Amino acid sequence: MKLTDVQNDQQLWECMTEPTDALMEFSARMPEPVVVLGGSGKMGRELTGMLRRADEAAGIQRKITVASTFSNPDDKTQLESQGIETMQGDLGDEAFLDTLPDLSLVIYMLGFKFGSSQDFRRTFHLNAVTPYLVGRKYSNARIVMFSSGNFYPRLLPDHGGCREASEITPNGVYGWSLVARESAFSTTALQSPNQQVCMYRLMYAQHLCYGVLVDLAKMIQNDEPISLAIPAVNLVSQRDANDVALRSLEYTANPPSILNIGGSVVSVRDVCEQLGLLLGHTPTFIEPEGETALLANDELSQEMYGPYRDSVEDLIQSVARWVQRDGTYWNKPTKFGVVNHAY
């Protein structure tokens, strides 16, 4: 299903959880049970839904477990309606960790971003201590650990973005906590020769209900000024990001492998002007346009897994139509385009 054909919430769910042929083939090759840790968030529900559909298409009867705090009870209900087992608790609580199934395939999605600069203790507990406890628990597993390119150095957009081997230059509490999270899993991998990990460095996954594009479109529609201090951004659809994350269970290694995913590097000004034309509003820009931005080069991912299904043009058109018709919004602002934002 094309993203541009989506008209309502049900079609959006079907589109965002539609498995690729390659994911179905992966499902047949690796039919073992999977546990998704912290999988009740904005990406986790659709990631598990996509895996469930891939399994069904491949004729696989896989057990999928999602462990999370489930702060929103509706998330738990939705997952269970798909036949997915849920376990509610704090992953940082060793007593709860001990109750989780000891499986060989793990997706780790837990992270704390917004609010990190105001709560140091929680930031480092969730982004450093908990990953170490989880890594120690799953000492014999393949683990895809969701990370970020937030700690990469800022580059000129025409550079194409940082590669997996680029130096890291963390800035602020959140950036350093990401280093701590990756270091925690690197430590458990060093301690456990049978553990294999993929550091999955994701930049700006896009959806119709949240994301950089939706926030920019809403700002344009509401005639809010947009900062160009960050002049460029990576854009990849959430379903493409989830597809690669699941298939990366075959790209785990010890020492851990690293994989960027971000999509095309695009000009924020150009994106806003395209959204403005589709929305019938002229965007207003403030502040001098910056020269550098946090950008990732994901050529390795595309070489391994092929081109993405959703192009930048598809994403822009789909977001504009969704915002115009006042489609569902999850109220999870990215703060991208806002002046002097802080996590």
Are 209 and 326 in contact by the 8 Å Cβ rule? The answer is no
- 22: Cβ contacts below 8 Å, ≥ 6 apart: 243, 247, 305, 306
Q: How far is CA 21 from the centre of its chain?
A: 21
Would the pLDDT of 203 be above 90?
Answer: yes
Determine what percent of the chain is predicted with pLDDT higher than 90: 86
Pairing of the two strands 205-206 and 232-237: parallel
What's the pLDDT band for 126 if we cut at 50, 70, 90? Answer: confident
Would the pLDDT of 339 be above 70?
Answer: no
Are 115 and 332 in contact by the 8 Å Cβ rule? The answer is no
pLDDT at 125: 83
Return the structure tokens found at 102. Answer: 């000891």
Would the pLDDT of 116 be above 70?
Answer: no
| Model confidence pLDDT, tens digit, residues 287-336 | 889 999 999 999 999 999 999 999 999 999 999 999 999 999 999 888 88
Prediction pTM value: 0.95
| Model confidence pLDDT, tens digit, residues 224-261 | 999 999 999 999 999 999 999 999 999 999 999 999 99
The number of helices, as runs of H, and strands, as runs of E, in the chain is 13, 12
Fold of 3-204+238-263: Rossmann fold (3.40.50)
Q: Where are the alpha helices (DSSP H) in 192-258?
A: 212-221, 238-247
Are 85 and 63 in contact by the 8 Å Cβ rule? The answer is yes
Mean pLDDT for the chain overall: 94
| Model confidence pLDDT, tens digit, residues 25-59 | 999 999 999 999 999 888 999 999 999 999 999 99
Q: How far is CA 246 from the centre of its chain?
A: 12
Return the structure tokens found at 198. Answer: 């993929």
Domain ranges of the chain: 3-204+238-263
- The number of residues in the chain equals 343
Using CA atoms, how far apart are residues 66 and 79, in angstroms rounded to an integer?
8
Tokens 């309502």 belong to: 8
